[in-house]
């Protein structure tokens, strides 16, 4: 009985969150396979075959999966599932979308967003925006699990797994992707960056967010934002860090003009080092910050950028 990890990719590159999911999968059992479903996705399958701990790559290359719907992906995964003890994927927007449908197809519960594996059937997951950690045992025969990337290191390179090509089942056509509007950025990916500089409502405008960008450029950092800054339209939703946005745990997180609502802390409090810059000394962000600077961000941030030069 092996472990099946469903890869997330864009037909060109494997998303880094899949590497964290593989690390979690390796802790669940010895025989870890990766499913790559896409269109012209041979490069992704080749990358997957070199991931350490992976013993087989299953590749399904078909028009249906060019921009795959959650309905069709769940049908495919369920058709491959017999023989696997665990079905695993990263708890990203992509994974969260299709995985519950796989659980239904197998008539088993799903364990979402695990941050620890204590036994093949026992997992640790945050609840209440990370205010508590629950240890839960999955009672069903097959475990369907989504993995929070920040809970596990990325699997190293070094594998050399065979690639097996599978035929695609028919799509169901229940939904169709019309298009995507993606935020393009030359900066590192938010969830995988070593440094994140995040701005809050105090920035005041999308124009003012440029001082965050300048600091991020200096540090080769990704840019993040609080919900308030996204709601106000300063930046796109792709930047949101928090309970309902992205969960990040970089080596350095610099929170600028972010008060630190529990929903925001849920997305970044596992960062190795937290710096907070806020003019309100009572802001809750200072309770989780390793270094706090009470200052006007419009002076402090450009000064910090200059100091780093």
Partner 1 sequence: MKVLVAVKRVVDYNVKIRVLPDKSGVDIAGAKMSMNPFDEIAVEEAVKLKEANLVSEVVAVSIGSAAAQEVLRGALALGADRAVLVETEADLPSLNVAKLLKAVVHKESPQLVLLGKQAIDNDAGQTGQMLAALLNWGQATNASAIKLEGAAVEVTREIDGGLETVALSLPAVITADLRLNTPRYATLPNIMKAKKKPLDVIAADSLEVDLRPRIKTISVNEPSPRKAGVLVPDVKSLVERLRNEAKVI
Answer for which of 63, 167, 170, 178 binds partner 1 (CB under 8 A) is 178
- Min dist CB 130 to partner 1, Å, is 6
Shortest CA distance to 244 belongs to which of 223, 259, 230?
A: 230
Nearest CB to partner 1, comparing residues 71 and 213: 71
Q: How many residues bind partner 1 (CB under 8 A)?
A: 86
DSSP state of 151: G
181 near partner 1 (CB under 8 A) = yes
**Residues 55-94 vs partner 1: string with x where CB under 8 A?**
--------------xxx--x-----------------xxx
- Min dist CB 80 to partner 1, Å, is 16
Q: Which residue has the tokens 């124009």?
A: 207
Binding residues for partner 1 restricted to 266-295, rule: CB under 8 A: 269, 272-275, 281, 286, 288-295
Q: What is the residue-wise DSSP string for 221-259?
A: -EEEE-HHHHHTTSS-GGGBBSTTSB----SEEEEES--
Answer for which of 96, 187, 201, 279 binds partner 1 (CB under 8 A) is 96
* Contact call for residues 25 and 51 (beta carbons, < 8 A): no
Of the ranges 81-89, 107-115, 150-158, 201-209, which one interacts with partner 1 (CB under 8 A)? 107-115
177 near partner 1 (CB under 8 A) = yes
Answer for which of 82, 83, 162, 179 binds partner 1 (CB under 8 A) is 179
What is the greatest pairwise CA distance in the chain?
A: 60
170 near partner 1 (CB under 8 A) = no
* Contact call for residues 206 and 180 (beta carbons, < 8 A): no
The token pair at 142 is 């097959």
Distance of CA 14 to the CA centre of its chain: 13
23 near partner 1 (CB under 8 A) = no
Nearest CB to partner 1, comparing residues 12 and 164: 12
Rounded to the nearest 5°, which phi and psi values hold at 38?
-170, -160
Of the ranges 31-39, 49-57, 203-211, 236-244, which one interacts with partner 1 (CB under 8 A)? 236-244
- Min dist CB 161 to partner 1, Å, is 26
Please provide the distance, in angstroms rounded to a whole number, between the alpha carbons at the two ends of the chain: 54
Shortest CA distance to 69 belongs to which of 182, 179, 177?
A: 177
The token pair at 163 is 């690639």
The token pair at 2 is 């092996």
230 near partner 1 (CB under 8 A) = yes
What Cα–Cα distance (Å) separates residue 66 from each residue in 59, 175, 177?
13, 14, 10
209 near partner 1 (CB under 8 A) = no
4 near partner 1 (CB under 8 A) = no
166 near partner 1 (CB under 8 A) = no
Answer for which of 77, 99, 193, 223 binds partner 1 (CB under 8 A) is 99
18 near partner 1 (CB under 8 A) = no
Nearest CB to partner 1, comparing residues 33 and 101: 101
Rounded to the nearest 5°, which phi and psi values hold at 81?
-60, -35
């Amino acid at each position: 009985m092996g472990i099946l990890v469903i890869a997330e990719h864009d037909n060109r590159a494997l998303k880094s969150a899949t590497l964290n999911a593989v690390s979690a999968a390796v802790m669940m059992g010895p025989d870890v396979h990766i499913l790559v479903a896409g269109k012209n996705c041979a490069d992704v399958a080749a990358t997957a075959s070199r991931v350490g701990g992976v013993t087989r790559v299953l590749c399904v290359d078909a028009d249906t999966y060019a921009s795959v719907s959650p309905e069709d992906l769940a049908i495919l995964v369920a058709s491959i599932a017999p023989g696997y003890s665990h079905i695993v994927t990263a708890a990203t927007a992509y994974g969260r979308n299709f995985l519950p449908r796989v659980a239904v197809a197998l008539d088993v519960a799903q364990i979402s967003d695990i941050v620890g594996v204590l036994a093949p059937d026992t997992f640790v997951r945050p609840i209440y925006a990370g205010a508590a950690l629950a240890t839960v045992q999955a009672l069903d025969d097959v475990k369907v699990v989504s993995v929070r990337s920040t809970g596990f290191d990325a699997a190293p390179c070094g594998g050399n797994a065979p690639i097996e090509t599978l035929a695609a089942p028919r799509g169901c056509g229940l939904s169709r992707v019309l298009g995507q509007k993606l935020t393009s950025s030359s900066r590192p990916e938010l969830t995988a960056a070593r440094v994140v500089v995040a701005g809050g409502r105090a920035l005041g405008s999308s124009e003012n967010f440029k001082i965050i960008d300048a600091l991020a450029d200096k540090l080769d950092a990704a840019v993040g934002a609080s919900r308030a800054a996204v709601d106000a339209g300063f930046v796109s939703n792709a930047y949101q860090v928090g309970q309902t946005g992205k969960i990040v745990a970089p080596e350095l997180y610099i929170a600028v003009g972010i008060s630190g609502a529990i929903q925001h802390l849920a997305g970044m409090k596992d960062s190795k080092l937290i710096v907070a810059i806020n003019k309100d000394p009572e802001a809750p962000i200072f309770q989780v910050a390793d270094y706090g600077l009470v200052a006007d961000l419009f002076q402090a941030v450009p000064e910090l950028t200059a100091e780093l030069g």
